[in-house]
Amino acid sequence: MKITQHSSENTLTLSLDGELDASSSVLLDSELNAPEILNYTKVLIDCQRLNYISSAGLGVFISHLQRFQDANVKLVFFNMQEKVHNVFEILGLDSLLTIVPSQAEAAAV
Amino acid sequence: MPFDRKLSSFMLPLALLSWVGLLVCSLLYAHPQQIGNTSFPGWPMLVAQAVFAAAVFLHERAQPDRLRGLDFVGLLRRLLLGPGLLATVCVGLHLLEDLFRQQTPGISSVVSTVAYTINVGLFILFLARTNYSWRSLVLFRSSARLRRQWGWFEALLGITLLVRLVSWSPPQAVLIGVLVFLGGFGAYLSSNQKWVAYLNRRQKLETVLLQLGIIVAMGVFVGYFLRTAHTVRLITPAPQQAFLLLNAFFAAFYAFMGLMVTFFNLPTAGVFEQKREEILSLQRLTQLIQKSQTAEEVYRMLFDSAIQTVEADAAWLEADNSSTDYRGQHYRIAPEQATAVCQLLAEYNLGQIEYLNNDLPNSTGFRSLNLPYGSLIVMPLRSSKRQYGALYMLKEQRQGFDRENLSILQTFTSQTVLSIENLQLMQASIQNQLVQEELKIASSVQDSLIPKDLPIDNWFEISSHALAAKEVGGDFYDFLHLPGRRLAVLIGDVSGKGITAAFHVAQMKGIFHALMQENPLARNEREKFPVPSKFMAQANNALARCLEKAAFITASLYIIDYEHGGFVFARAGHCHTLYYHSIKEEVSYFHTAGLGLGIIRNDTYEKHIKNQFYDYNPGDVMVIYTDGIVEARGEGGEEYGEDRLLQMLERTYYLDATAIKERILSDLEEFSRGQPIHDDQTLLVIKFKDSEPEARL
């Protein structure tokens, strides 16, 4: 798993590359845990190269959901592969999270 | 060697017997008038004495080594206070003899003969004991070569015992030559005084006194025999016997050499003792370190032993170890001063490397620190993998440390590092064992939570399969019969693994059984038991408070009413239900919305979960499962997937429940052959049957 950060004025984009399983989710958790992340108004997750997400990976997003909401930070997923989207959908997260097809739409949210 | 032992047990009686024989022969020989003036031959006396000497020596030879461990002083003391005291008996007998000579000259000759014979016996005893004590010392930590030489020495001395027994006597020159040779051999063996090095100063003083005592005892005997040599009419004055002569010479010479070596070793005893102390403290350190349980104990032990051994005036230890909070300690030096020295060393690029400086006042940098020390040793604690800190030792005088100090500290530190790494390995293995133990508990808990008996009824067939992955996962399922021919089926998956997952499974089961109780306040039949969506909302509420932040649970609850031929279910983030509709002859998934449990932890959850009602027909098949089935990986890493599962049901729907399950499982196995199982796999197949199966009979 590789996570690359790209930040502009109010937006932080995290690009996930690889498989998000129990071990790599620790890495993501520490990224999302950083206090300064709440200074952004929007955190975009680029899922183009995300091939797999385990329940531990989902757990990381779920555990930060409330914190982001409380801080008024929007969490937006985009470029999600079909099978990964399916995992989000089965768990019912598609009704809870903002998942959009492209980066442009994500920026517009 | 049983033969040797048997032989040696004969030796004592033989010695006694031969001594009595010797006494009788000596008396008869010295007083021929007693047997009618016929002269008694000399040879029985010689034979008796030779047999006696041989028996005593062989008996002593067969005794176990008298040296116990390194107790040299004890050996000498036992020798002096045992056989050594026989010399006083010898003196006493001689005085008695003198008394008789003055009082009753008539029988004084008999008394002299008896006394002489007794003394010969005692002297031989003393010599045997002494020489075999010396054997223990000569052969102490000896080489095989030396042991062979000793064997030759013994054998040659044994041969000299026989010399006097034959009537032929060799020319004087040869005899002297042999004697000189054997004497030289004995003197050569006497140079083996290795044991002296193992004595400390006090023991050496004691040894000198004991050896003097032994030499005096020897002198008393020799004096006696010299004195009596010409006064008694005896055929075998002791000094003439090569065997006794050589033994006495060896015994005395070894004692004398030992005395000299010990005596001249006295001045250097201090240095030896210091080295010995170093070795002993290394031994102590090794033993203590092996007993210690923590890295801190090991560090502390190293520090104390090092200061004691090199007699440092000040010292400190820096520990750099992630496995302990211990950061080092100081001895007679303030931490600030230690830091200043470290900074200075770092400036010279000497930080934490092995370093010896015996002339600190010569260094300008060190002079500026204004510390009263002349010598410094830095000894890093390093293994091939990493550094565990460094040890700094200071002495006030210049040239305070030598190379030996450096090497002993090296030994100390490498021992310490070894122990620290051993401890770390041990902790890791304990940790590993704990995890294994935890997994074992978790898997047995999980196993006990899976229902062993499936519900049986005429209206449906159920077949189940549960396979736990190597690491315990959190799959679960359960059944509950409700009144009015209804059956509740729960299936789910707790995120995470191990004992916490097993714990949440147990919790989920508890919630299931608690919520599925009949509500006595219900106004109608429908409200007696919660509908699945209500159940999920209540379960979510119950779990909200105890599930850790990143954990969630997916579940589906089905309530099958087989009286009315219908079911209702809710899906909380769990895998979609696969279904064969016999009327439409079609296989499809129920695509219903529903959020997993524990994701939203407030009352809004209820909005995210829906009920799905369906009236089933006989022949319909329901397949419920966990993600371990559809996410099983194939050879190329691809997933088994919902589509392949659907196709399998299309091909097998007409079979009975167990056969459908078996077909799906064998297809799954084929798909993921050779791949490790990452997640639990649970599969339930329910086949609805004719509403009146009896009619078929």
SS3 annotation, B91-146: HHHHHHHHHHHHHCHHHHHHHHHHHHHHHHHHHHHHHHHHHHHHHHHHCCCCCHHH
Residues B418 and B491 in one domain: no
Q: Is residue B216 part of a domain?
A: yes
Q: Is residue B431 part of a domain?
A: no
Residues B38 and B184 in one domain: yes
Please judge whether A65 and B595 are an interchain contact, meaning their C-beta atoms are less than 8 angstroms apart. Answer: no
ipTM: 0.90
Q: Is residue B253 part of a domain?
A: yes
Is A27 in CB contact (< 8 Å) with chain B? no
Closest partner residue to A92 (CB to CB) among B496, B549, B594 is B594
Residues B587 and B493 in one domain: yes
CATH of the domain at B581: 3.60.40.10
Nearest CA to CA, how far is A9 from chain B (Å)? 30
pLDDT at B322: 73
Pairing relation of β-strands A98-100 and A74-78?
parallel
Task: Label residue B485 left, alpha or beta by phi (over 0 means left) and psi (-120 to 50 means alpha).
Answer: left
Is the Cβ–Cβ distance between B652 and B580 less than 8 Å? no
The CB-side HSE value for B622 (13 A sphere, CA atoms) comes to: 26
pLDDT at B695: 43
Tokens of B611: 């009920």
E strand or H helix that includes residue B484: none
Nearest CA to CA, how far is A101 from chain B (Å)? 20
User: Helices B105-138 and B86-103 sit at what angle, rounded to 10 degrees?
Assistant: 170
Q: What is the DSSP letter of B372?
A: -
Beta-carbon contacts below 8 Å between A and B:
57
pLDDT at A99: 93
pLDDT at B696: 42
Is A56 in CB contact (< 8 Å) with chain B? yes
Closest partner residue to B608 (CB to CB) among A63, A66, A92 is A92
Nearest CA to CA, how far is A80 from chain B (Å)? 17
Is B639 in CB contact (< 8 Å) with chain A? yes
Please judge whether B550 and A93 are an interchain contact, meaning their C-beta atoms are less than 8 angstroms apart. Answer: no
Residue B495 with chain A: CB contacts under 8 Å = 55-56, 58-59
Is A18 in CB contact (< 8 Å) with chain B? no
Nearest CA to CA, how far is A43 from chain B (Å)? 19
Q: Is residue B331 part of a domain?
A: yes
Identify residue B676 by its one-letter amino acid code: P
Cα(A106)–Cα(B526) distance, rounded to whole angstroms?
A: 45
E strand or H helix that includes residue B337: helix B335-347
Give the model confidence (pLDDT) of A52-101 as tens digits: 898 889 999 998 988 898 999 999 999 999 989 999 999 999 888 999 99
Is A82 in CB contact (< 8 Å) with chain B? no
Tell which of B362, B393, B426 closes a domain.
B426
Tell which of B236, B271, B306 closes a domain.
B271
Residues B412 and B459 in one domain: no
Residues B98 and B209 in one domain: yes
Please judge whether A92 and B572 are an interchain contact, meaning their C-beta atoms are less than 8 angstroms apart. Answer: yes
CB atoms within 10 A of CB B383: 13
What is the set of domains in chain A, with CATH numbers?
2-108 (3.30.750.24)
Please judge whether A91 and B575 are an interchain contact, meaning their C-beta atoms are less than 8 angstroms apart. Answer: no
Nearest CA to CA, how far is B523 from chain A (Å)? 33
Residues B267 and B296 in one domain: no
Nearest CA to CA, how far is B530 from chain A (Å)? 22
Chain A residue at shortest CA distance from B609: A92
User: Helices B105-138 and B144-163 sit at what angle, rounded to 10 degrees?
Assistant: 160
Domains in chain B, number: 3
The range of the structural domain enclosing residue B548 comes to: 450-696
Residue A63 with chain B: CB contacts under 8 Å = 549-550
Helix, strand and coil content of chain B, in percent to the nearest 5, comes to: 60, 15, 25
Residues B49 and B181 in one domain: yes
Cα(B55)–Cα(B14) distance, rounded to whole angstroms?
A: 7
Q: Is residue B187 part of a domain?
A: yes
Q: Is residue B580 part of a domain?
A: yes
pLDDT at B435: 83
Residues B463 and B604 in one domain: yes
CATH of the domain at B412: 3.30.450.40
pLDDT at B279: 79
Residue A60 with chain B: CB contacts under 8 Å = 550
pLDDT at B172: 77
**Look-up of token digits 């009920």:** B611
pLDDT along chain B (697 residues), means of 10: 69 89 83 65 80 89 84 90 87 85 76 84 90 89 89 87 68 82 88 84 89 91 80 54 81 88 82 76 79 82 86 89 81 90 86 84 86 90 86 90 85 86 88 84 77 81 85 82 88 83 87 87 78 93 87 94 90 95 94 92 90 93 94 88 94 94 94 86 91 48
Region A15-24: mean pLDDT is 89
Please judge whether A62 and B599 are an interchain contact, meaning their C-beta atoms are less than 8 angstroms apart. Answer: yes
Beta bridge partners of B481: B487
pLDDT at B659: 95
Burial class (CB in 10 A: 0-12, 13-18, 19+), B569: buried
pLDDT at B552: 92
Please judge whether B554 and A91 are an interchain contact, meaning their C-beta atoms are less than 8 angstroms apart. Answer: yes
Is A55 in CB contact (< 8 Å) with chain B? yes
Q: Is residue B278 part of a domain?
A: no
Q: Is residue B439 part of a domain?
A: no
Please judge whether A95 and B593 are an interchain contact, meaning their C-beta atoms are less than 8 angstroms apart. Answer: yes
Cα(B575)–Cα(B589) distance, rounded to whole angstroms?
A: 10
Top residue of A24, A54, A55 to mutate, by most chain B CBs within 10 Å, is: A55
Chain A residue at shortest CA distance from B604: A96
Cα(B439)–Cα(B426) distance, rounded to whole angstroms?
A: 20
Is B594 in CB contact (< 8 Å) with chain A? yes
pLDDT at B34: 62
Residues B221 and B94 in one domain: yes
pLDDT at B166: 65
Residue B600 with chain A: CB contacts under 8 Å = 96
Tell which of B241, B271, B301 closes a domain.
B271
Closest partner residue to B596 (CB to CB) among A29, A83, A92 is A92
Is A59 in CB contact (< 8 Å) with chain B? yes
Residues B267 and B300 in one domain: no
Residues B397 and B486 in one domain: no
pLDDT at B578: 96
For chain B, the first-to-last Cα distance in angstroms comes to 91
pLDDT at B609: 93
Please judge whether A93 and B493 are an interchain contact, meaning their C-beta atoms are less than 8 angstroms apart. Answer: no
Is A63 in CB contact (< 8 Å) with chain B? yes
Residues B256 and B396 in one domain: no
pLDDT at B415: 85
